[in-house]
């Protein structure tokens, strides 16, 4: 069971950037089947520089604080009519750490203290959803299912961080109550199961083929993507992350020239990318760079697939099939030296179809 909301002062955010507070409080049972651990309560706190764009609250930088505490009482009605969250006074925050298997830890104290009292009240309809999926590669098979209910809410809260009161303005549409049950079973194979993939994917008529390349070289990483239908490229994307003058930067080019072979033998991506840098006042433009990325497939390609069905507003099922191949990667930034690294290439296509009610 969970309750969440975002808090931000519309006046301060409208004048530039502000520290928005994103809260998630939860209670329940987590962990593997053999290590089920009851969690009477946890609250996760994120303070993120944000601003207002077109009337919406938009984050503009990485969180300046990500903390958590188990020193909290969380009580949420199963019919989502109400919820309450209260820390045991001013309590120390700890670092919040997530793991690849979906588990998390609330570990080392990070020097901040936090106090919270919040009362949620459910409003409007309760929405139910359910999904199930299957994912397979030569090394992993996973079966998972999830069901849940959610409801919009109002909330009254008092928030104190390091002894100072923070804004209690709830950003419209962000408060909610929810209950989720999820299960998964994963089988990992010591040796790959199935033969290598030969040739490109077979794409159904009117189906969309997505080709994707990722690579890392030096202090830079690149993501490139192209969407193609019936031999015609619909759109492309190229994003870069790196270091410039010792500072982290990022940027993207929605109209990049991306040519990735459907059989994953190789590919290139080129674009002029506008770079941005995080500052205390938000993201600041720092200039443009010319990016040329090249992939050369190595080793054999292998297949992956995913089958799923869900019913948020009706029933539908989807089937995704794809191939993956490791690749050697080179990168040139602004006619500088050629940086060598590694990455991978992928191609996939998805078919969706409604099921009868």
Query: Tens of pLDDT along 187-200?
Result: 998 887 777 887 78
Alpha-carbon distance of 281 to 13, in angstroms, equals: 11
**Residue among 207, 229, 205, 225 nearest 215 (CA):** 225
C-beta separation of 223 from 295 below 8 A: no
Look at 72 and 142; give whichever has higher pLDDT.
Answer: 72
**Residue among 304, 345, 339, 301 nearest 327 (CA):** 345
Alpha-carbon distance of 170 to 161, in angstroms, equals: 17
Alpha-carbon distance of 73 to 88, in angstroms, equals: 8
| Percentage of residues of the chain with pLDDT beyond 90 | 54
| Whether residue 292 has pLDDT greater than 80 | yes
What 300-304 contacts at long range (C-beta under 8 Å, 24+ apart), as own/partner pairs, is 300/196, 300/197, 300/325, 301/196, 301/197, 301/198, 301/263, 301/264, 301/325, 302/137, 302/138, 302/192, 302/194, 302/196, 302/197, 303/137, 303/138, 303/194, 303/197, 304/135, 304/136, 304/137, 304/348
Write the pLDDT tens digit of every residue in 44-94: 999 999 999 888 999 988 899 999 999 999 999 999 999 999 999 999 999
Alpha-carbon distance of 32 to 27, in angstroms, equals: 16
Domain boundaries, the chain: 2-124+151-178, 208-354
235 band by pLDDT with thresholds 50, 70 and 90: very high
CB-neighbour burial class of residue 176 (10 A; exposed 0-12, middle 13-18, buried 19+): buried
CB atoms within 10 A of CB 27: 21
Q: Buried b / exposed e across 4-22, counting CB within 10 Å, b at 16+?
A: bbbbbbeebbeeebbbbbb
Position 68 scores a pLDDT of 95
pTM summary value: 0.65
Distances (CA, A) of 127 to 25, 78, 107, 182, 315: 20, 13, 34, 17, 14
173 band by pLDDT with thresholds 50, 70 and 90: very high
C-beta separation of 157 from 118 below 8 A: yes
Write the pLDDT tens digit of every residue in 298-320: 988 888 877 766 655 545 667 78
């Amino acid at each position: 069971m969970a309750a969440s909301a975002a808090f931000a002062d519309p006046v301060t955010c409208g004048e530039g950037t502000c520290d928005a507070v994103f809260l998630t409080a939860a209670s329940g049972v987590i962990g593997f089947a053999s290590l089920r651990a009851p969690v009477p309560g946890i609250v996760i706190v994120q303070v993120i520089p944000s601003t207002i764009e077109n009337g919406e609250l938009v984050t503009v930088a990485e969180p300046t604080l990500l903390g958590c505490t188990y020193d909290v009482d969380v009580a949420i009605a199963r019919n989502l009519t109400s919820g309450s969250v209260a820390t045991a006074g001013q309590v120390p925050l700890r670092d919040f750490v997530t793991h690849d298997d979906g588990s998390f830890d609330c570990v080392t104290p990070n020097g901040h203290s936090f106090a919270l009292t919040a009362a949620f009240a459910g409003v409007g309809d309760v929405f139910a959803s359910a999904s199930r999926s299957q994912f397979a590669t030569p090394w992993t098979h996973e079966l998972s299912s999830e069901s849940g209910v959610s409801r919009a809410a109002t909330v009254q809260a008092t928030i104190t961080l390091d002894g100072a009161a923070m804004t209690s303005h709830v950003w419209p549409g962000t408060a909610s109550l929810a209950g989720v049950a999820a299960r998964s079973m994963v089988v990992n194979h010591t040796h790959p199961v199935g033969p290598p993939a030969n040739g490109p994917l077979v794409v159904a008529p009117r189906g969309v083929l997505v080709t994707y390349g990722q690579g890392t070289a030096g202090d830079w990483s690149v993501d490139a993507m192209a969407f193609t239908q019936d031999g015609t490229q619909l759109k492309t994307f190229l994003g870069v992350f790196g270091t410039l003058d010792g500072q982290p930067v990022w940027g993207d080019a929605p109209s990049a020239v991306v040519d990735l072979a459907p059989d994953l033998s190789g590919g290139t991506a080129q674009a002029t990318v506008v770079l941005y840098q995080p500052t205390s006042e938000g993201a600041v433009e720092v200039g443009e760079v010319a990016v040329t990325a090249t992939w050369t497939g190595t080793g054999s390609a292998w297949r992956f697939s995913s089958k799923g069905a869900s019913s948020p507003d009706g029933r539908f099922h989807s089937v995704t099939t794809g191939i993956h191949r490791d690749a050697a990667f080179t990168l040139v930034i602004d006619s500088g030296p050629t940086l060598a690294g590694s990455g991978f290439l992928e191609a996939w296509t998805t078919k969706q179809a409604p099921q009868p009610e």
